[in-house]
Each structure stands twice: as C-alpha cells, then as structure tokens.
C-alpha cells in the first residue's frame, strides 16, 4: 500500500473541497490519499510517512485580483520553497477549463518549479454533475413535445456564433438562447428558483420543463478544436434527462463518449460530423443533421432509442464507471511524481 498526501490548496483561493470530493471517488488499488486544504494544519501529519506528497495551486484567471498583492506573492513564494524542500511536487489546478481555453487566457499564479497541470477533460464535470444530481428525483417525460430543439448559448465563442448563425433559420419552433444577442428563454422555461438567471453559476442545475417540451438538445460545447476532448455539463444534462442530442464540440467528441462506455445515435441519424476535421464542414454537417431531424418522426426516434438513453442514464450514475475516469486523472499525477523523482 502506497500512501499519498495532498495539500489541496496552497493559498486557499480555490475550491479545495470539490477537489477532495473528486479524489475520494478514486478506486486505484493499493493507493491511499490523505488530504487537507489548510496549510497550517500540516504539522499534524507525519509527512515522512508518505510515499508521495503533492501541493495543489489554484490556477485561475480570477486570481488576477491577487497579482498586484505583494504580501500574497511573497507568502506564496515562501510556501512553495518550503514545500519543495520537503519533497512536495506541485499541481496547478483548474479543472473547470480546457487546455485550449487555458492556453488563450492568462491564469494566475504561474510558478517556475516543474509541475503538472490539472485541467478539464472528461472526468471533472461528470464528477461534479454526478455529485450534484445523484440524490435528486426528476420527472422527465418524452411523450408530448411542443418544440423542436433546446439550444442554449450563454458565453460568446467564435464557433458558437458560427453555428448559431447557420442554424438560426431552423429555430422558428425551438427553445433557444444566445445571451450576447440578449436572446433568453421565456421565464416559464428558466430555473424557477433563480429570479434572475446569473451570468455565472447555476449552469449545472436541471429543470425538467425545457427537456420535456423539446425533441432534441443541440449542444454547442465549450470548444471545437481538434485536440483534447473537453466535456462539460452541456452533455451530461441531456443524458440525465434522457434527451436525444446533437453535439457541436471537439473533433471525435462522440467517439470519446463511446470509448468511455456511453452510446450515441448513429444508427438513427447521421453523426459523421464527429469525424470531420474541418470545423466549417463540421458546422455544415450539423446543420444538415438538424434539418433532417425536423422532418423525422420524433416519437419513433424516442421509441427506437429508449434502450440507448436508459443505458446512458445508468452509465452516468454508475459510480464505478465514473471512478475509472477519476483514476486516469490521478494516475497522471502519480506518474508525474515518480518520473520527477527519477529525473532529480
């Protein structure tokens, strides 16, 4: 049995309790993880008894509010030097954002020491949505539909604008938003518990009515690049709702979804857009799929895909399957620690 110690937030500026909940769901054989988010409680641990020691640094754009704080910078540097001298390896953490997003924004703080990055991939939002919804009861119904698509866009991104302008003619009988153009849902379809739906927050909440009254989810994910697949709450919400979906996301997004055990709908409508490397052609293919779905018999589709949608729902709430993905994230950290010891 190998013992690992993690200081989950060196300066306590982030979401260390969320990180700890994520880590506790691991199922890596012969590995234990002791954690604290309180720097000044580490004296209560026998740090020499651990095989590996990690220190997580909260690494987000929001932390720029601290960039000019000399006292913060000096204390951060002091803690990093002390932890490094005690054999800690560092993790810069922002699982809320993709590698692609983080490359485009300047997050803080940066550190000079060798480190590994914890960024968004597949497991973070699956974990977050699992934890948020596992004990909730919903009444999703798919026997009567008044609208075609549920298509939600909040933050402006070039690929979202591109798809939105393309599919706009198809949305005459759909529930859709595009916040940059001040297009929002009718209040009856907004979260009843949110008086004014915030710009940030509550994106992971679920309300049955928009899903019950629409035939398909058209999802414009956070990224559309051809590199690493980043899955957010945008895919998990229709899966929980047992809703048919079309995804405008990374190249091979659906393939990755299938690789981790979920199923998609290629037997019932064209999903070849997923393998299209040209981003504009991907949009054109998604437009064609949406146009075809308008002419499809949605009742037949829901009957034919019942087992797939049930499988995906059960897969999402399968703790062991989620744990397998969490393991992959943590094993990356363990391997980084081990390789850093060899190189040093």
Domain holding 97: CATH number?
Answer: 3.40.50
Sorting pLDDT into bands at 50, 70 and 90, what band is 343?
low
Together in a domain, 98 and 184: no
H-assigned helices in 241-318:
253-259, 279-295, 298-304, 306-316
C-beta separation of 260 from 122 below 8 A? yes
Distance separating alpha carbons of residues 7 and 50, to the nearest angstrom: 13
Together in a domain, 184 and 89: no
Model pLDDT, residue 12: 95
Considering its fold, how many domains does the chain have in total? 2
Together in a domain, 156 and 272: yes
Q: Which structure tokens are listed for 143?
A: 């026997």
Together in a domain, 158 and 99: no
Domain contains 40: yes
Together in a domain, 334 and 218: no
Residues 208-253 pLDDT 10s: 999 999 999 999 999 999 889 999 999 999 999 999 999 999 999 9
Residues 49-81 pLDDT 10s: 999 999 999 999 898 899 899 999 999 999 999
Residues 144-190 pLDDT 10s: 999 999 999 999 999 999 999 999 999 999 999 999 999 999 999 99
Model pLDDT, residue 104: 86
Together in a domain, 196 and 104: no
> pTM, whole model, 2 decimals?
0.95
Together in a domain, 280 and 183: yes
Average confidence score pLDDT of the chain = 95
C-beta separation of 62 from 93 below 8 A? no
DSSP reduced 3-state for 177: coil
């Amino acid at each position: 049995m190998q013992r690992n110690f993690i200081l989950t937030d060196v300066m306590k500026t982030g979401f260390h309790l969320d990180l700890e909940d994520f880590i506790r769901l691991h199922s890596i054989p012969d590995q234990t993880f002791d954690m604290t988010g309180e720097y000044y409680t580490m004296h209560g641990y026998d740090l020499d008894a651990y095989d590996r020691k990690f220190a997580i640094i909260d690494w987000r754009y929001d932390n720029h509010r601290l960039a000019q704080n000399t006292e913060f910078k000096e204390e951060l540097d002091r803690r990093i030097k002390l932890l490094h001298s005690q054999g800690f390896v560092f993790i810069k953490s922002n699982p809320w954002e993709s590698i692609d997003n983080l490359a485009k924004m300047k997050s803080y703080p940066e550190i000079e020491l060798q480190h590994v990055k914890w960024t968004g991939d597949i497991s973070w939002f699956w974990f977050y949505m699992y934890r948020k919804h596992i004990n909730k009861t919903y009444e999703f119904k798919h026997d009567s539909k008044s609208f075609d698509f549920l298509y939600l866009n909040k933050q402006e991104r070039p690929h979202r604008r591109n798809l939105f302008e393309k599919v706009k003619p198809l949305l005459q009988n759909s529930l859709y938003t595009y916040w940059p153009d001040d297009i929002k849902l009718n209040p009856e379809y907004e979260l009843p518990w949110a008086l004014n739906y915030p710009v940030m927050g509550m994106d992971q909440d679920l309300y049955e009515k928009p899903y019950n009254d629409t035939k398909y989810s058209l999802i414009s994910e956070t990224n559309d690049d051809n590199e690493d697949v980043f899955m957010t709450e945008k895919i998990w919400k229709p899966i929980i709702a047992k809703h048919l979906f079309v995804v405008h996301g990374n190249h091979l997004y659906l393939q990755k979804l299938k690789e981790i055990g979920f199923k998609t709908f290629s037997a019932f409508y064209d999903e070849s857009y997923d393998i299209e490397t040209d981003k504009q052609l991907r949009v054109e293919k998604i437009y064609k799929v949406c146009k075809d779905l308008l002419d499809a018999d949605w009742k037949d589709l829901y009957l034919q895909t019942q087992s797939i949608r049930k499988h995906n729902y059960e897969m999402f709430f399968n703790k062991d399957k989620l744990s397998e993905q969490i393991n992959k994230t943590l094993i990356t950290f363990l391997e980084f620690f081990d390789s850093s010891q060899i190189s040093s």
